[in-house]
Chain A
Amino acid sequence: MGVGTVALIVAVLVAAYFVMVYNRLVTHRNRFKNAFSQIDVQLQRRYELIPNLVEVANKYVKHEKETLTAVMDARNQASKACKEASANPDKSGLVGALAQAEQTLGNAMGKFNMVMEAYPELKADESLRDLHDELTTTENRVGYSRQAYSDAVMRYNTEREQFPAVIVANTCSFLEADLFEAANEEIREPIKVAFS
């Protein structure tokens, strides 16, 4: 067997390995993208529910208009970030921006819930209660889909960072995927409560 034949066999083996790793990376990348689209589905449902909730609240709440406006603003912001991220989930920073917008929305919703406590007739409204229940269910699902997304991202990132897959990943531009986390550290800090 000549040197040429050996070289050919080695080259074929390397190429086969390259193809295998490449395919595995593609599978994992598609899995995490799919996991992201699950978050997207749940978030969209949530963004649909929030305006209805605000509309019902509008009938009862007279003096807390800015809370409602803040909720709607945060919702619009998050919805926009969601659209951008879902178009391109593996682009660096977009998922982080969405997570940040979600956090702002979460804070606004927290304030809204506090306002709700102060209006017993608002709390007693049946349609609001139904909406609120549905929102809670959707939020649970958002939580679970985020978890599934994080698992998929972890698997993908582990796969692409391992040697020698990292060579294939870097040559074929398999980018590192972002976890669903707020990039801005300030926002992640717990809300401070001051008693004055």
Chain B
Amino acid sequence: MDFFGIQDSRRQQSLLLLVFFSAAMLAMAAVVHVLAVVIAYPSTGSMDFSEPTTGAKAFIALIWITCLIGCFFRFLDVRAGGVALARRFGAVEANSSGRYAKEEWLDDIVNEIAVASACAVPRIFILHREPSINAFVVGGFNGKEALVVSQGAIDKLSREELSAVVAHEFGHIAQGDIPINMRLLIALGGLNAIDEVGKLLMVKSEGRLLAQPGAVVGFVIRVIGSIGVFFGRIFRSAFSRKREFLADACAVQFTRMPEHVAAALSIVRDEHDDEGIHSVHAEELAHLCFQVGDINDWQKRVFATHPPIQKRIDAIDPHFSIKAKSRKRKESEKKPQLYSVGNGRAAMPMSGAEQVSGGQISDAAAMVLTDTASCLAVLHAVFVSDDSERRREFYKAIGFAYNKVFAAQVKEVRETLSHELHNNQLAIIENATQQLRSSIKFENRQRMLKSLEKLVAVEDEYTLMNYATLQLIRRKLDAEFPVLETVCSGESSVAQASHVKTFDRMGEEFALLLSLMIESSGNNDDTLDDQFAMALKCYTQDQLSRRTSNEPGIVKELETSFQTLYVQPRPIREAFVRHCLELAQSDGHIAKDERALLDLFAASLNCDALAA
């Protein structure tokens, strides 16, 4: 793309818009003048526009003073400067020795782009509770900007894509959009104030429109105010759209990576669940953000602060989608499903040896997994405890539930494959369930799972790992997920409503899941406490204590937490699962238990598609 050319043309267009805006403001002043004379006519009988009467002068003064007061209050609002505004939106300043590697990335990227754009380095803030991909710059008139990046952008984008997003925001800084935006906001504040005063006057006269002169004046003021606000908003949106293209072109100039700028935009486009930023200040922020939800309605398009994402991508590289598709195809040809096991669901990155072996099992295991009965036996053998007393009890229970022959078979399988059941459990389960899926009917699989559940639960209680394994088997057998059915199925509107909580009130749920995740890394208690406190900070300010997996009733609580989290928007769930993945990877490798839990979380929160 010829970014210098595009920048020039967009700059000219936005200059033209600014000229229009000034002309519109002058026109409004003229209209106010004329209206003032016309309104005063019945009482004064004079229609002299050059020498308005005292009443008309008072009306004109009322309008302009209202406007100025409105501007002043809005000015007080934005005067606070970037840092104060960023804090008001709930963003937290990032420190250079960031908690996560990605926070350090962000710091590096911002410094690099500052060099590339010859701008001062702004202070960096992170919106920790914002799972969508977004970023914006806020600033006052003192030139001290604050760059705010959402947690979603840090989590979901690669380094290059994050650079592109940051470079876009630097584009706004370099082009001086921040002061212009602030001035526009102030002007709009003035127009809004006129509208509000009109409303107030009309309400005071309680609908007797023609009976009171105050009501007539109020009506006229409202008309002036609303028309002003209407055109003001149209103008601001049109201006903002032009500046978005300009900032995109700047992003390409600063990074010299048009493909990554386009890629970041296309990732944003693909986030269907997402309707722009979720913060309470969404409306105020709209014109500042990297993106807002896609717009189809023409009415909305007029007021849209951002051009449609596809248009932005096309401006950067018209052939981007074709190139991306062919690249994806080539990649999938190159890497034949290294990360996905079996039917491609529950794709999570694997660690070390597992990654190499994929869904491979040893010859000994393959010899065992020949018929349906032995596959069933293997699935039962997975749950055989290392403790000899429990083991005996388990075999006895199997004998009781099925028959003694089957119990003996489970025992045999356990003894021949003891090592493999321990180290390569996932592949074994994968292979066994694959066979069972094709050889047993759905109803029978459900029944089999029910009896397996009964066996595994000791007095209606599972251990956490058994629960995770059981849910994995359930998923692999394509069986129904009873935990979530209550939330998803028809009669559940009550159940669903009981699970709807705002993000702020889910501290306990997150605390529980995080504690289990962190515990599975097998570190000592002090380290676990530290890690937990640090991870929890991302979700809540409350000081919650760390839970442990051997507390009674923990699995029931876990199920309830899944139900609560399940009804949250997808970006929140995905961001959480990714966070867990990061926690698991923080020590450089993913242990078996960590992997099992990650799998469980991803599946239970319906983030199956969340590949590496």
Contact = CB atoms under 8 A, between A and B. Distances in A.
A145 B116 contact: yes
Contacts of B108: 137, 140
Interface stretch (A11-19, A104-112, A147-155): A147-155
Contacts of B115: 38, 42, 141, 144-145, 148
B112 A34 contact: no
Contacts of A38: 115, 118
Interface in A44-61: none
B268 interface: no
A148 B112 contact: no
A104 B254 CA distance: 26
Interface string B248-263: 0000011010000000
Contacts of A140: 108, 112
Interface residues of B, number: 11
A42 to B, nearest CB: 7
A34 B115 CA distance: 11
B111 interface: yes
A132 to B, nearest CB: 15
Nearest to A152: B118
Interface residues of A, number: 14
Interface string B111-151: 11101111000000000000000000000000000000000
Nearest to B107: A137
Contacts of B116: 144-145, 147-148
A35 interface: yes
Interface string A145-175: 1011001100000000000000000000000
A144 B253 CA distance: 11
A165 B116 CA distance: 28
A151 B111 CA distance: 18
Contacts of B254: 144, 147
B441 to A, nearest CB: 57
Nearest to A38: B115
Interface string B92-122: 0000000000000000100111011110000
A144 B115 CA distance: 6
Contacts of A34: 118
A99 B254 CA distance: 21
A145 B112 CA distance: 8
B256 A148 contact: no
B505 to A, nearest CB: 41
Contact of B111 (A31, A141, A148): A141
A117 to B, nearest CB: 21
A35 B116 CA distance: 9
A141 B112 contact: yes
B256 to A, nearest CB: 6
Contacts of A137: 108
A152 B4 CA distance: 12
Contact of B112 (A31, A35, A144): A144
Contacts of A152: 118
Interface in A167-193: none
Nearest to A39: B115
A141 B111 CA distance: 8
B166 to A, nearest CB: 12
A94 to B, nearest CB: 21
Contacts of B113: 144
A27 B116 CA distance: 19
A34 B253 CA distance: 18
Nearest to A42: B115
A140 B117 CA distance: 14
A179 B113 CA distance: 20
B109 to A, nearest CB: 9
A137 B159 CA distance: 13
A130 to B, nearest CB: 13
A14 B113 CA distance: 41
Contacts of B111: 141
A185 B116 CA distance: 26
Given A144-B112, A148-B118, 14 more contacts: A31-B118, A35-B118, A38-B118, A42-B115, A137-B108, A140-B108, A141-B112, A141-B115, A144-B115, A144-B254, A145-B115, A145-B116, A148-B116, A148-B117
Interface of B: 108, 111-113, 115-118, 253-254, 256
8 smallest A-B Cβ distances: which pairs?
A144-B116, A144-B115, A145-B115, A144-B112, A141-B115, A148-B116, A148-B118, A140-B112
